[in-house]
Amino acid sequence: HTVVTDQPAKAVPALPDAQTVTEVKHYTDRLFSFRCTRPASLRFRSGEFVMIGLMGDPHPETGKQKPLLRAYSIASPAWEEEMEFYSIKVPDGPLTSKLQHIQPGEEIILRPKPVGTLVHDALLPGKRLYFFATGTGFAPFASLLREPQTYEDYDEVIITHTCRDVDELTYGRDLIEDLKKDELMNELMGEGFGDKIQYYPTTTREESPKMGRITTLIENGELFEDLGVPPLNPETDRAMVCGSLGFNLDIKDLLEKAGLKEGANSDPQQFVIEKAFVG
C-alpha cells in the first residue's frame, strides 16, 4: 500500500448530537442570533436552556478534540420546528470567539437535555407577568413571549429590557414588533394577544427615550407610572428575571421587599430567576 503521510492518522470525530445551523444574524459587534435544526426527540418547556457548543481545538500532542459546551437559553418557543439562540460574542471567550463565525450549513453540538427555572410551572397563578431582562438575558423571554400559555395564564405581560446601548435592544424590539403583527402568532396566541404586551426598553450608557437601570426605575416608581400599573403586589404580580449575577441579586432584593417569594419547579411561588449566559 502507499504511504501518503508520515503523520499518524488522526481519527476525525463525528460531532455528537450534531444539529445544522440554518440562519445567522448579527446585531452588533457584541451580539448575534442563530437558528438550527431541532432534534426530533427533543421536548422542552418555553424558557428552558440546553448545553450547546462546538468541538474544541485538537490537543497539540494527542490530537484529541473535546466538545466545548455552554448553557444557552432556548430563544424559540416549545412549539417551533427550528431552534433559536441569542448570544454575546466574547473576544477571548473559548466558545463564543468561534461560535460567532458560524455559518448556515455548519454544525453545532446540542445536548438534548433541557432544564431551567424560567418556566410557567414554577409560578403560582397571577394577573400580571413581568419579564425583567438585561443584555442577552432577553433570550428565555424571546421563547416565553412566543408561548401561547403566557397569554392564556395572564391578562398583562410586561417585558423590560435594559442594555448599555440602543443597538443592543434591536433583537428584542424587532421580535416583539414582528410577533404582534404575525398572522400565525395571532392565530396561535389568540387574536389581539399583542395588546397584552407592554415593552419597556431602557439604556444606561447611550442616550435613548428611557434611560436608567430598571432597578432604579422600580425603586423610584417610574416604571409603574410610565406603564400605568400599580406597584408590585404579591397578590396579582408574577416575575421572571434573567440577567447578570449582580442584576439578578438586586432585582431579587426588590421583589422580596415587595413581598414576592422565589419559586422553583418543585415549589411554585411568585418569581423565578436565572443567570444569563455570559460567555
Could you tell me which of 114, 127, 117 has the C-alpha nearest to residue 42? Answer: 114
By CB under 6 A, is residue 87 in contact with ligand A2P? no
Kindly give, in sequence order, each residue whose CB lies less than 8 Å from that of residue 264, ignoring residues fewer than 6 positions away.
Answer: 117, 122, 272
Taking the least distance from each CB to ligand A2P, the nearer of 18 and 258 is: 258
In degrees, to the nearest 5, what angle opens at C-alpha 146 toward C-alphas 97 and 201? Answer: 65
Pairing of strands 107-115, 83-88: unpaired
Nearer to ligand A2P, 231 or 246 (CB): 246
What is the x/- site pattern for ligand A2P, positions 22-41, by CB under 6 A?
A: --------------------
Q: Which of 246, 259, 261, 267 binds ligand A2P (CB under 6 A)?
A: 246
Which of 10, 113, 127, 164 lies at the binding interface for ligand A2P (CB under 6 A)?
A: 164
Q: Do residues 107 and 96 touch, judged by C-beta distance below 8 A?
A: no
Question: How far is it, in rounded angstroms, from Cα 21 to Cα 36?
Answer: 4
Question: Can you read off the three cell numbers belonging to residue 267?
Answer: 415549589
Choosing from 210, 213, 252, 275, the residue that interacts with ligand A2P (CB under 6 A) is 213
DSSP letter (8 states) at residue 216: H
Q: Is 257 in the site for ligand A2P (CB under 6 A)?
A: no
CB of 109 to ligand A2P, least distance (A): 26
Number of shown-chain residues binding ligand A2P (CB under 6 A): 13
- Residue 104 as a binder of ligand A2P (CB under 6 A): the answer is no
Q: Give me the least distance between CB of 43 and ligand A2P, in Å please.
A: 31
Q: Establish if 204 lies at the interface with ligand A2P (CB under 6 A).
A: yes
Out of 35, 162, 169, 217, name the contact with ligand A2P by CB under 6 A: 162
Distance (Å, rounded) from C-alpha 265 to C-alpha 120? 9
How far is residue 136's CA from residue 5's CA, in Å, rounded to a whole number?
47
Residue 274 within binding range of ligand A2P, rule CB under 6 A? no
Shortest CB 178 distance to ligand A2P, Å: 23
244 binds ligand A2P (CB under 6 A): yes
Cell triple for 83: 431552534
Say whether residue 19 binds ligand A2P (CB under 6 A): no
Nearest to 137 by CA among 279, 13, 24, 271: 279
Q: Which residue of 163, 169, 176, 232 would you call a contact of ligand A2P, by CB under 6 A? A: 163
Q: Alpha helix (H) ranges present in the chain?
A: 96-99, 139-144, 148-153, 170-181, 183-189, 214-219, 222-227, 245-257
Nearer CB in complex with ligand A2P: 171/193? 171
Tell me the closest approach of the beta carbon of residue 135 to ligand A2P, in angstroms: 4
How far is residue 120's CA from residue 204's CA, in Å, rounded to a whole number?
30
Site residues for ligand A2P per CB under 6 A: 134-135, 162-164, 204-205, 213, 215, 244, 246-247, 250
